[in-house]
Chain A
Amino acid sequence: MKSVKRIPVILAGILFSVSAATANFDLAVDLFEEGDWPACRRECLRVSVLDPDHAGVRLLSAASLVQQILEGKEVKDDRVSSADQELRDLAAGADDRDISAMASLELGRLSWFRGDIDGAFDELRRAFVTAPDHELFLRAGCSLDLLIRQNSALARSRDLTGLESQLNTCRPMWTGGLARSCVVDAHGKERATSRPGKWIVAFYRSQVRPAIGSRCSLEPSCSEYYKRASGKHGLLGVAMIGDRLVREPGVVSRAEHPVVAGGKIHYADPLDEHDWWMER
């Protein structure tokens, strides 16, 4: 009798859980598309509490972590290992072929980033051959082609006959945007002219700043400003930091946009306040 009385409560609970899980999953998919990886993982966690075996959520969560890693964010090793294992399980055992192929694709990109070229080749090829979805097929093919072109040793160690003709057939369908999104670069995208800037900032931060302390009153700090400026505009960053150092006392004395950084009051002077006119 007691269990009968609880039926409506359980039913309401199930209905609420299903609708909440659906809404949260839709939200997680949205956030993934928008590139908000931490928020996407949080939503995945909400769904997985209600439905721990949801394959789509497991994939989305692991894929978000892969994206964070590819963007150069620091991720703890144990989380990387668990995402890697999750993707392997899904690639090998998911009932849905879309999920299995997408797991292979993400696993391939992760292996590529970590320098495991052979592992990346195997996973990307599997994704390319098994993808039932057209967009996924194009993405896997484009990633595989880029991997082969960047690693000429693969042509010698692997039998690419058949595969190359398949890739050549679908090459006309790859857009520039697709190719850019498929590139995996372990060193990050940067201009060659921005490297000296990074070296100078690294030298200053490791050798000079510990001795003289942090002296800049602006936010971002002058070294960070130079790093960003040279990353965005190359050698023009030199002129921009020259201008910044001359302006610094004026910005501080006007005290217009105070911000608290590192427990001290600084004054905001972001890079985009001084290069917006280049983008017009």
Chain B
Amino acid sequence: MRSVECGIFGIVMAGLVAALTVPAEEPVGLRVARELHREGDHKSAAIEFRRLALESGGADAGGYYWAAAHEYRLGRQHDIIGKMLDRVEDANPSLSNQAMLLRGENALDTRQFSDAAFYFESLFADKGADREYRDYAGLRLAGLHLRNEDPAKAREVLSAVQDADYKQLGAVSVYQAGRDKSPTVGGFLGLIPGLGYAYSGEYANGLRSLILNGLFIWGMVETANDEQWGAFAAIIFFEITWYTGSIYGGIDSAHRYNRDRLQEAEKAIMGEASFEPDYSVIPSVTLQFSF
């Protein structure tokens, strides 16, 4: 009888030890969130991460909220990211650098360039932050200085970034040597069909606009000479579209030209720089940078 009791006691103890030593299985929600992320359903993944944050509470919630913010960014739901990142900092202040980085990226995505400069500058100037965070922020900041038409500051920041080489500095010089197109001039030139497009280097669009406007103006003249006012009204309706389109295109193509020139320089400055969170260790937030 005694040996039976000892046996039961031994089995119970062995079970307890096994339960305490075997690592806790990760929550089902986390696996679901990862799977949704892999499938590209970022909005649903974000909601799963938020559920995990609410269920777990404490510092872990910070990591889950950060992952939710990252998913919302991938899903281009920029308006909710700030709210998620506020919660990250409330739940786990030690994730402030990760939150700052995502705030900067989100501000860039939403074209809030002065906000983006503030976040990246704060991160770049933080001597306590990891070198990789500071370097990434520095590259972004250099691009933002260029956007702000301050190439000297862009060079100054790049010189403090580890591994920044002649390619990045060369991109600043190339951008500085080029010239922007004036949207006002583009609009005025657009009064002559197609010339606005040509001003910004879009010669094929310019030629198409010229041909279309030429044909319809010719049609208007012919129908007016023949006093065919019904056909004249139909043709003028389309001609208004082509003609106003030429003016609008002159303005828009100049803006496009300037934007593309800047984006090219920013792309050259960033090079291969990017970061990815390691979802296998969530709720701890570990970013893997590549430069």
Contacts and interface: CB of A to CB of B under 8 A. Distances in A.
Given A39-B47, A247-B205, A249-B208, A27 B54 contact: yes
Contacts of A249: 204, 208
Interface in A13-63: 19-20, 22-24, 26-27, 30-31, 34, 39, 43
Nearest to B247: A239
Interface residues of B, number: 30
Contacts of A274: 252
Given A242-B246, A242-B248, A277-B183, A250 B202 contact: yes
A117 interface: no
A243 B247 CA distance: 8
Interface in B86-107: none
B221 to A, nearest CB: 20
A75 interface: no
A245 B245 CA distance: 9
B177 to A, nearest CB: 24
A244 B83 CA distance: 37
Interface string B181-211: 0010000000000000100001011001100
Interface string A229-265: 0000000101111111111011000000000000000
A23 B55 contact: yes
Nearest to B56: A23
B242 A277 contact: no
Contacts of B212: 246
- Indicate the member of A30, A34, A239 with the most B CB atoms within 10 Å: A239
A278 to B, nearest CB: 9
A160 B9 CA distance: 80
Contact of A30 (B50, B246, B247, B255): B50
A96 to B, nearest CB: 22
Interface string B239-256: 011111111110010010
Contacts, number: 74
B250 to A, nearest CB: 9
B204 A250 contact: yes
Interface residues of A, number: 29
Given A249-B208, A250-B205, A242 B243 contact: yes
Contacts of B241: 238-239, 241-242, 245
A26 B252 CA distance: 45
B42 to A, nearest CB: 13
B248 A236 contact: yes
Nearest to A23: B54
A242 B245 contact: yes
26 contacts: A24-B54, A27-B50, A30-B50, A31-B47, A39-B43, A39-B47, A238-B240, A239-B241, A239-B248, A240-B245, A240-B248, A241-B245, A242-B241, A242-B246, A242-B249, A244-B245, A245-B241, A246-B209, A246-B212, A246-B245, A249-B208, A250-B204, A250-B205, A276-B111, A277-B255, A280-B111
Interface of B: 43, 47, 50-51, 54-55, 79-80, 83, 111, 183, 197, 202, 204-205, 208-209, 212, 240-249, 252, 255
Interface of A: 19-20, 22-24, 26-27, 30-31, 34, 39, 43, 236, 238-247, 249-250, 274, 276-277, 280
Given A27-B47, A277-B183, 13 more contacts: A24-B51, A27-B50, A27-B51, A31-B47, A34-B83, A242-B241, A242-B242, A242-B244, A242-B248, A243-B249, A246-B208, A250-B202, A250-B205
Across chains A and B, which 10 residue pairs bring their CB atoms closest together, nearest first? A242-B245, A239-B244, A23-B54, A239-B248, A243-B249, A242-B241, A243-B245, A277-B255, A23-B55, A243-B248
